[in-house]
Amino acid sequence: MGGRRTATGMVEREEDSMSGMMQKLDKEKLTKAAKEWPTWFLKKAKVVAHYGFIPLVIVVGMRTEPRPSLVQLFMPV
């Protein structure tokens, strides 16, 4: 079995160098995913907040005492 010599003169086996490369690639993928996740999450949260805020206000308003009718809930006065 062949190998290559490192700077210290030790022979590095090909399997070791391949596993090292795989670990490096896995680490790069994890780093990229960790950097992209907050952007992805914030984009989704923005959509949820945008389309969910008004329905949330209506539901909370309908559950308060005294219970207003839907028309009273939408009237400003």
* Element (DSSP H or E) covering residue 77: none
Q: Which portions of the chain are predicted below pLDDT 70? A: 1-18, 21
Distance, in Å, from the CA atom of 56 to the CA atom of 15, rounded to the nearest integer, reads 58
Structure token digits, residue 57: 């206000």
Identify the domain containing residue 28 by its residue range.
3-74
pLDDT at residue 7 in the model: 61
Structure token digits, residue 36: 């992209």
Which pTM value belongs to this model? 0.46
pLDDT at residue 15 in the model: 56
Across the strands, what pairs with 4? Answer: 12
Give how many domains the chain has, as a whole number.
1
